[in-house]
Amino acid sequence: MTPSAQPNPLDVRGLPPPQPMVKILEAVTWLAPGETLTVIHNRVPHLLYPRLRERGLLVETSESPDGTVTLAIQRPLK
């Protein structure tokens, strides 16, 4: 997928494992320094966090009352 074809926010709710992780890791490869990808998920993706850290990415997680999890994944400025 090209950068212009990346959906933002990226909604991975309802996808079977490991598809959410695969799609998120693919999408973050296109993040430029300072850019943020918003991800909508139906669970906290604990196994994803180490993979994001390995790539030097920052992530903030919030959970809404209905159980929807929102991730803000950012590639920091260098």
Could you tell me the residue ranges of all domains in the chain? 3-74
Q: What percent of the chain shows pLDDT beyond 90?
A: 88
pLDDT digits (tens, 9 = 90+) for 38-72: 999 999 999 999 999 999 999 999 999 999 999 99
Q: Which residue has the tokens 């598809």?
A: 19
CA distance 26 to 17: 15
pTM tops 0.75, yes or no: yes
CA neighbor of 36 nearest in space, from 76, 2, 73: 73
Beta carbons of 40 and 12 less than 8 angstroms apart: yes
Query: What length is written for the chain?
Result: 78
- CATH label, 3-74, candidates 3.30.110.40, 3.90.1150.10, 3.30.160.20, 3.40.140.10: 3.30.110.40
